[in-house]
């Protein structure tokens, strides 16, 4: 079990979403019927997708050594309908200072991650034990 899976196991909310670690520090939201927002089109609920992206950011910061993380602001842009398939979150650090980290998180689908369905930008307060 890697460090991201340990943080997921410790958080009931992350377990409820069914999150798991992916390759290279990514986080995966599994395809499951309870994540459907529109049953006629079988697409993910926007709230689930936004929560997933924010959770991926927190998990990235915690896995990077932060002892505590608090969201300052997080905005999600929905780029296209997201079918109910496994979705991977890829986190990029825009800037990380002593107390605040600014991140970009992409929700990618497809085997090669070429289909970006949503992107989130945000700022997080980070407490690092020195």
The 10s digit of each residue's pLDDT in 25-83 is: 999 999 999 998 888 888 999 999 999 999 999 999 999 999 999 999 999 999 999 99
Q: Is the pLDDT of residue 1 over 70?
A: no
β-bridge mates for residue 11, sequence order: none
Q: What is the CATH number of the domain that holds 33?
A: 3.10.129.10
> What pLDDT sits at residue 29?
97
> What pLDDT sits at residue 48?
96
- The backbone torsions φ and ψ at residue 33, rounded to the nearest 5 degrees and listed phi first, read -60, -30
Q: Which residue has the tokens 């090669």?
A: 112
Record the pTM: 0.93
- Other CB atoms closer than 10 Å to residue 48's CB: what's the count? 18
Q: How many structural domains comprise the chain?
A: 1
- Residue 44, token pair as written in the block: 């993910």
Transcribe 33-98 into DSSP letters.
Answer: GGGEEETTTTEE-HHHHHHHHHHHHHHHHHHTTEEEEEEEEEEEEE-S--BSS-EEEEEEEEEE-S
Cα dihedral 75, 78, 79, 85 in deg (nearest 10) = 120
> What pLDDT sits at residue 40?
87
Q: For residue 89, give its domain range.
A: 3-128
């Amino acid at each position: 079990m890697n460090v991201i899976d340990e943080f997921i196991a410790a958080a009931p909310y992350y377990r409820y979403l069914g999150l798991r670690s992916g390759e290279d520090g990514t986080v995966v939201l599994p395809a499951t019927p309870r994540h459907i927002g529109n049953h006629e089109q079988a697409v993910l609920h926007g709230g689930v997708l936004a929560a997933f992206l924010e959770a991926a950011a927190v998990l990235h910061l915690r896995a990077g050594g932060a002892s505590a993380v608090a969201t300052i602001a997080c905005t999600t842009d929905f780029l296209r309908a997201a079918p109910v398939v496994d979705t991977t979150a890829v986190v990029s650090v825009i800037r990380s200072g002593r107390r605040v980290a600014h991140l970009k998180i992409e929700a990618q689908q497809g085997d090669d991650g070429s289909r970006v369905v949503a992107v989130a930008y945000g700022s997080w307060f980070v407490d690092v034990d020195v």
